[in-house]
Amino acid sequence: MNFLYNTDEVIILRSVLLNALRLPLPKEQLGSVKDIDTERLARLGIDTILFDFDNTLTPWRNKLVDDSIKEVIRGLIERGFKVAIVTNAGRKRMEEVDLGDDLPLPVFHSLFKPGVKRLKQVLRKIGAVPEKTAMVGDLFFTDIIAGNRLGMYTILVNPYIHGATDFVNKLLGVLTKVFFFSFYYTIGWFFHIVDLTTPNEAFRDVYSIDYERLIKAGFDTFVFDYDNTLSPWKTPPSNEVVRLLNSLAEKGVMVIIASNGKRERLERFKRFFGDKIVVIGSARKPMGGRVKRLLKKLGRDPNRTVVIGDQLFTDVFMGSLIKAYTIKVEPIDKDREFLTTRFLRRLEKIVKSLQRGKHVVWRKEE
């Protein structure tokens, strides 16, 4: 029996399958809700945070929320975030919960996550949109899948078992982590690598980037690749490049050139930029160790750093590893590249077809 498939149908089927396999993968993993970086979320345009309840804000079946968790939620509300609880627990369970009179927090129960029908109703009711919403929960097969299905920024936290005395509660928390790691280090690892090579934004060249927008969003450090990002391979910087980087430095931000090129060659280029621009060679990208140590030495936060380069598997990958904001630009000269770089360019074409978008910092028109 012969089965004939239309090429478009195969492409659609592959896309559906890949999207289904990556749905359980969160955009971020944290120890608890206390570790949420509110400044980072705000820079990404997030204005709404939805929390699962059991084992996210409190141990399973617990009727009280710890004061430290309340303080986190109160801080989010004071910062201007819309905050709500979205749980699969039933009405009776949530009526037993005491949130206190001082915490104006809407609670939505019986949501049947990973289904999204009722979750969409919640968003409409609180006046939120998925692309500006973060979903925070401890279960990758309910909270994270539901959030990813709607295009939210998804955050997976460890199950909240601190202070829990019930053996079943602790066991469920451990099993939840075991199930996630079983997925993460098999199927999920492949998609995690794809996510690491996915930039937040892409532009034709370094001159097309809206640096003012990024600075206003709170970024104070810019890390540039050199070869084929600022100048053709082995070529001294042009006057235009020097003016661009010096103009950024004059705005009060830190400008760093981090290249995998030999230190001796990069040292020779230092004289073009002056003392305001930090230049390092042998940066060992895609590993982020050397750049991260440099940022620490300079007193700079990776979360407030923008990494700009022409390669997904070195510049963008490294930036994602250190949790920086990443921007991909087109290479200046594709004809003058190493054989390994040309091979990676071929891989880039494959990876691009597998990438899912990342959140982008707010724009002036928004």
Q: Does position 319 have pLDDT exceeding 50, yes or no?
A: yes
Q: Does position 183 have pLDDT exceeding 90, yes or no?
A: no
pLDDT for the residue 64 = 85
> How many CA atoms are closer than 13 Å to the CA of 188, on its beta-carbon side?
16
So where are the chain's domains?
Answer: 23-185, 201-352
Separation in Å, CA 346 to CA 17, 34, 181, 230, 318 = 23, 41, 30, 22, 19
Domain spanning 23-185: which superfamily?
A: HAD superfamily/HAD-like (3.40.50.1000)
Q: Which residue has the higher pLDDT, 330 or 262?
A: 330
Separation in Å, CA 139 to CA 5, 92, 127 = 37, 21, 25
- What percent of the chain has pLDDT above 90? 64
Q: Does position 170 have pLDDT exceeding 70, yes or no?
A: no
CATH class of domain segment(s) 201-352: alpha beta
**Structure confidence by residue, pLDDT tens digits, 184-214:** 888 888 889 999 999 999 999 999 999 999 9
Domain 23-185 shares a fold with domain 201-352: yes
Closest by Cα among 68, 116, 61 to 94? 61
pLDDT for the residue 365 = 47
Mean pLDDT on 46-59: 94
Separation in Å, CA 101 to CA 98, 224, 302 = 9, 50, 38
**Structure confidence by residue, pLDDT tens digits, 101-122:** 778 899 999 999 999 999 999 9
Mean pLDDT on 295-318: 96
- State the DSSP string of 217-256: TT--EEEE--BTTTBSTT-PPPHHHHHHHHHHHHTT-EEE
Closest by Cα among 60, 70, 65, 67 to 97? 65
Closest by Cα among 307, 262, 255, 256 to 281? 262
H/E segment holding residue 329? strand 325-329
Q: Does position 1 have pLDDT exceeding 50, yes or no?
A: no
14-18, 44-48, 298-302: least confident range: 14-18
51-65, 98-112, 125-139, 169-183: least confident range: 169-183
pLDDT for the residue 210 = 96
Q: Which residue has the higher pLDDT, 242 or 3?
A: 242
